[in-house]
Every structure is written in structure tokens, then in C-alpha cells.
């Protein structure tokens, strides 16, 4: 990772939390229809997504390769509301798809950051979370290029210092490296996101992906893991035990993130690439200490099999941050203190139905008054700034 921190000039005025420089580790766009039509290369445009309405729930969904996203019914089913029911400001009634993308991709994105107290944010796809599920490899790669181009040329162009985007990459290792390099070096992506799942049988911890990790390490680009429900081609997906959405959703994010954590450390990725930085999104926090304990215990009792030179928890503490998104999460304060206030960052999951709206930071501080000021500052400011290797300076006073 580059040793020199990149400086961001803080030139904006928030309506609250000006005492902190807050990086939101996981905000979501609501992609307008043009993302997967206009921004596709001409040779693939006829295979662009169609925005349609399902005939079960009447919900808006994307139609790609003859499948609806998110999935409507069946084991591990997707959101009942499809591409709707967004609550960017904590609304009681969710917004429609059309109202949501017009607000989130328009005047709302910066206004809601200001009203929340967010200085800079990492933006992750919503509809685009289905891209690793596309079966045709060429089409999947084209969709990755399309959404990355849309981010760079449309969504983030207004203020790239405040609006960082997570690049979408294909599931095959070499195309993934190629698109990651393009997105980082030509489009300005600050992160690359992956699903923690095994998608279509690709185990991302295979050594074939080492060139991708080398690229991320060399460029100082953060790897972000983000789960989603409603795919058709995940492998060994625990949500397939259920055909009721809320039950599948309860386990999907933390269970898959736990598997990703074990794979990332146990396969030696963090040992081989000590400069690789990793963020785990939208799966809570309190499960992490237990699995760190369990990984460390297995190294102690089965050292020849584990084969690592450090305790698993030490790799995590050196290279990872987990972003808690639920301000009332049980054991949040205890887990934060287990990490000595480090390795924990704030996020809102804006504007999804289970997000905390524009009151997310306020709710954290209100719910956990026992946190010290240093713990608050690390959570809201320092830990993600260190992960992304940035520092900030105030706008110089006008002479």
C-alpha cells in the first residue's frame, strides 16, 4: 500500500457532526435504467436489462438473461418489494424505484450526507449486486464495465472527493484483475467489491486470484465484501434452506461474511498480501470476536493444519475493518472494546429498507453513551480513514 496518505480538502458544510470527519463505509446507489442500457457497449446493448413489474407482488425488477432480479420466489428468495421500498431519510413508507433513483442519484445524495453528518462515502451497487450471477461471461464483463463507467461518468462526477465508488468485477480471476485495474487507474475507483459467496462454483480464495490481490495491494485499493439475497447461482448458499424471505435475510449476510472471513485468513491471503486492506459490510459486528476466538483456538489446537505464522486475529486487526450498520446492535460496545476501539467503522446502509436513515450517527452515540470520546472518534473517523489511507485538511480561510 502507498505509504503517503492522500489528502482530502474539506470544503463542504455539514449540518451536524462537524467535529468529526466521517467516512460512511457502505452507502448504496439506486441505479437508473440507463446504467444497464445506455452505458453498455453498443455490441451488448440489445442484452441490456429491462425494467419490468413482476406478476406476483407487482414489484419493479430488472430482467436480465430471462431472469428477474432480485429473485421473486423459491429457496433463498429475493426481496418481496424488488427494486422499491427505499428509505433514504428513514421514511415510514418506502419510496418507489422511480422516486428512489431520482432522489439518490440526484440532489438527494449530497443533501442526505450533509444532514446525516457524512463527509465522504463509499457507494456500492444495489441492482448491480446481481452482476456476478450473470451466466454469459462476456455479458457479465460488459455489465461490470457499464456500471463502473456510469459511476465514474455520471454518479460520482459531481463531487469525486465525497463520492467514492466500489468497482464491480467479474467472477473469473483474470477478467476480474483486468477490470479492477481499469476501474482503479482510469476511472478512479477507491474500492473493489465482491460477494462473499461462491458464485457459479468460483472459489475466490483460490490461488488463481493472487494477481488480483497483488493489484489491490500495490495500488492501495480496499477490497470490500458485500452480500445480497435473491441470486440464482450461488453455491452452497445457506439461504436456500428457506423459502421465506425474512428467514433467508436473517442469516444471509452474517453467515456468508463469516465464511468469507475464514477463507480470507485461513487460505493465507492476508499473510501473502500484508498490505491488502479489507472491509466487511452490512453484517453487523458482534459475531466477529467469537469467530476470531474460534480461529485462534484452532490454530492453537491444530497448528500444523492451520499453517499461519501469526494468530488469525492478528491478521484481522492488521488489515481489516468491519462496518456495523445497525445502531442498536446488541453487544456493539463490548465488541468495539474487544478490538480496543479499532477495526470498527460506521455505515448507514443508505437507502435500503433496513437502513438507519439520516439519524444513523446520532443513534449510535445515543445508544452507547458508555463509549469514550476516543472510541467514538475512532469509530466515526479514524479507523476508516486509516483503512483508505487518507487524511483531511480544512478549507483555507479566505484571505
pLDDT, one tens digit per residue, over 287-333 is 999 999 999 999 999 999 999 999 999 999 999 999 988 999 999 99
Question: How far is C-alpha 273 from the geometric centre of its chain's CA atoms?
Answer: 21
- pLDDT tens digits along 258-290: 999 999 999 999 999 999 999 999 999 999 999
Mean pLDDT of the chain: 94
Strand, helix or coil at 52?
strand
- pLDDT tens digits along 31-85: 999 999 999 999 999 999 999 999 999 999 999 999 999 999 888 888 788 998 9
Residue that has been written with the C-alpha cell 425474512 in this structure: 246
Instruction: Give the domain ranges of the chain.
Output: 6-394
> Is a pLDDT exceeding 70 seen at residue 355?
yes
> Is a pLDDT exceeding 70 seen at residue 2?
no
CB atoms within 10 A of CB 58: 10
Instruction: Quote the cell numbers at residue 250.
Output: 436473517
DSSP 38-49: TTS-GGGGGG--
Nearest alpha-carbon partner for 200 in 65, 306, 106, 94: 65
Q: What are phi and psi of 318, to 5 degrees?
A: -80, -30
- pLDDT tens digits along 78-137: 878 899 899 999 998 999 999 999 999 999 999 999 999 999 999 999 999 999 999 999
Nearest alpha-carbon partner for 236 in 209, 197, 288, 264: 197
- Check residue 227 and give left, alpha or beta (phi > 0: left; psi -120 to 50: alpha): beta
Q: Is the dihedral of CA 11, 17, 22, 25 positive or negative?
A: negative
Q: What is the mean pLDDT of residues 151-158?
A: 97
Q: What is the mean pLDDT of residues 216-226?
A: 98
Angle at 20 (CA atoms; ends 14, 24), nearest 5 degrees: 75
Which comes out higher in pLDDT, residue 5 or 321?
321
CB atoms within 10 A of CB 95: 22
DSSP 102-132: HHHTTTHHHHHHHHHT-SEEEEE-SGGGGGG
Query: What's residue 396's pLDDT?
Result: 58
User: Against a cut of 0.75, is the pTM above it?
Assistant: yes
Strand, helix or coil at 275?
coil
- The one-character DSSP state at 372 is -
Angle between helices 108-116 and 97-104 (to 10 degrees): 70
User: What confidence tier does 387 reach under pLDDT thresholds 50, 70, 90?
Assistant: very high
Query: What's residue 155's pLDDT?
Result: 98
Angle between helices 287-301 and 312-319 (to 10 degrees): 140
Query: What's residue 399's pLDDT?
Result: 35
Choosing among 3.20.20.140, 3.90.180.10, 1.10.3720.10, 3.40.50.450, the CATH entry for 6-394 is 3.20.20.140
- Percent pLDDT > 90 in the chain is 86
Query: What's residue 398's pLDDT?
Result: 44
Strand, helix or coil at 13?
coil
Q: Which helix (H) or strand (E) holds 271?
A: helix 269-272
CA separation for the pair 394, 374 (Å, rounded) = 21
Nearest alpha-carbon partner for 346 in 362, 334, 331: 362
| Number of alpha helices (DSSP H) and beta strands (DSSP E) in the chain | 14, 15
CA separation for the pair 166, 112 (Å, rounded) = 19
Instruction: Quote the cell numbers at residue 279.
Output: 472491509
Q: Which of 56-65, 180-189, 229-238, 302-311 has the lowest mean pLDDT?
A: 229-238
Query: What's residue 218's pLDDT?
Result: 97
CA separation for the pair 149, 186 (Å, rounded) = 10
> Is a pLDDT exceeding 70 seen at residue 359?
yes
Q: What are phi and psi of 274, to 5 degrees?
A: -65, -15
User: What confidence tier does 384 reach under pLDDT thresholds 50, 70, 90?
Assistant: very high
- The one-character DSSP state at 239 is G
Cis amide leading into 277 (omega within 30):
no
Instruction: Quote the cell numbers at residue 221.
Output: 485499493
Contacts of residue 106, Cβ cutoff 8 Å, sequence gap at least 6: none
Nearest alpha-carbon partner for 357 in 166, 177, 94: 94
Amino acid at each position: 500500500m502507498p505509504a503517503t496518505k492522500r489528502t482530502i480538502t474539506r470544503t463542504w458544510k455539514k449540518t451536524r457532526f462537524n467535529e468529526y470527519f466521517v467516512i460512511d463505509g457502505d452507502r448504496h446507489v439506486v441505479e437508473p435504467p440507463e446504467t444497464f442500457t445506455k452505458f453498455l457497449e453498443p455490441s451488448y446493448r440489445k442484452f441490456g436489462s429491462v425494467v419490468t413489474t413482476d406478476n406476483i407482488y407487482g414489484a419493479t425488477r430488472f430482467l436480465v438473461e430471462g431472469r428477474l432480479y432480485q429473485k421473486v420466489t423459491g429457496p433463498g428468495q429475493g426481496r418481496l418489494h424488488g427494486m422499491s421500498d427505499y428509505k433514504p431519510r428513514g421514511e415510514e413508507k418506502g419510496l418507489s424505484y422511480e422516486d428512489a433513483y431520482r432522489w439518490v442519484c440526484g440532489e438527494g445524495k449530497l443533501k442526505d450526507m450533509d444532514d446525516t453528518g457524512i463527509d465522504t462515502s463509499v457507494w456500492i451497487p444495489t441492482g448491480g449486486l446481481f452482476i456476478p450471477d450473470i451466466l454469459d461471461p462476456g455479458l457479465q464483463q460488459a455489465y461490470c464495465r457499464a456500471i463502473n463507467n456510469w459511476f465514474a461518468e455520471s454518479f460520482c462526477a459531481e463531487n469525486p472527493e465525497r463520492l467514492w465508488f466500489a468497482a464491480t468485477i467479474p467472477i473469473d480471476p483474470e477478467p476480474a484483475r483486468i477490470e479492477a485495474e481499469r476501474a482503479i487507474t482510469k476511472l478512479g475507483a477507491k474500492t473493489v467489491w465482491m460477494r462473499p459467496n461462491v458464485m457459479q462454483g468460483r472459489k475466490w480464495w483460490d490461488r488463481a486470484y493472487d494477481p488480483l490481490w497483488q493489484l489491490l495491494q500495490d495500488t492501495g485499493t480496499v477490497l470490500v465484501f458485500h452480500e445480497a439475497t435473491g441470486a440464482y447461482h450461488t453455491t452452497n448458499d445457506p439461504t436456500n434452506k428457506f423459502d421465506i424471505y425474512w428467514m433467508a435475510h436473517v442469516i444471509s449476510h452474517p453467515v456468508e461474511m463469516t465464511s468469507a472471513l475464514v477463507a480470507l485468513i485461513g487460505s493465507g491471503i492476508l499473510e501473502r498480501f500484508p498490505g491488502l486492506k479489507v472491509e466487511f459490510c452490512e453484517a453487523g459486528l458482534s459475531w466477529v470476536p467469537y469467530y476470531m476466538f474460534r480461529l485462534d483456538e484452532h490454530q492453537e489446537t491444530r497448528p500444523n493444519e492451520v499453517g499461519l505464522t501469526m494468530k488469525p486475529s492478528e491478521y484481522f486487526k492488521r488489515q481489516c475493518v468491519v462496518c456495523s450498520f445497525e445502531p442498536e446492535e446488541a453487544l456493539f460496545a463490548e465488541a468495539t472494546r474487544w478490538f480496543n476501539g479499532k477495526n470498527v467503522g460506521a455505515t448507514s446502509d443508505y437507502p435500503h429498507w433496513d437502513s438507519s436513515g439520516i439519524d444513523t450517527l446520532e443513534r449510535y452515540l445515543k445508544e452507547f453513551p458508555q463509549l469514550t470520546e476516543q472510541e467514538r472518534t475512532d469509530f466515526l473517523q479514524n479507523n476508516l480513514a486509516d483503512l483508505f489511507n487518507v487524511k483531511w485538511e480544512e478549507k483555507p480561510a479566505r484571505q
